[in-house]
Amino acid sequence: MSLPPHVAWVRVSPKPGRNEEMSSLNLIEGLGIEGDRHARPDKRNQVLVMDVETLDHFELRAGDIRENIAIRGLDAAELVEGDRLRFGTDAEVLISHPCAPCYKMDALRPGLQEELRGRRGMLGIVTRGGVVLPGDVVKLVPKQD
């Protein structure tokens, strides 16, 4: 029996170039992740969600692409704008757009920026606050047409 989609790890980026593993994340509705440099109400990239399977495929480690929430069992590249991800019992993120790989990816490995095109995870906006913990079940609520 396989596990349902779940949170593998959580990370915060307090400053440019830093991405730290945390025991939990506090998502604040309309703002983002408490303590993260992207936490602002006018941003569409408050949270970066990435799947562990893709990281493994590209032989990347936790934090290499600056993900905030790593999930196992759900392919982030299959998410679309308007999908919602619920984490545990409270927190919810509205998927806003794919995360474009930047030139910094090539510092990890030459050519990685191009390899990750369309596969660097999805960015989203916190629509319901709450605490996200490793092991939390992830529920996909597909976009309503």
pLDDT of residue 21: 96
54 in a structural domain: yes
DSSP letter string, 99-120: PPP-TTHHHHSTTHHHHTTTTS
Choice between 19 and 27, residue whose per-residue pLDDT is larger = 27
Q: Which domain holds residue 21?
A: 6-141
- Residues 89-110: what's their mean pLDDT? 93
80 in a structural domain: yes
1 in a structural domain: no
27 in a structural domain: yes
Structurally, how many domains does the chain consist of?
Answer: 1
CATH number at residue 69: 2.40.33.20
- The Cα 75–Cα 90 span in angstroms is 22
Instruction: Tell me the three state secondary structure of residue 135.
Output: coil
Tokens at residue 19, please? Answer: 């991405």
Q: Considering the chain, what is the average pLDDT of its residues?
A: 94
pTM across the whole model: 0.95
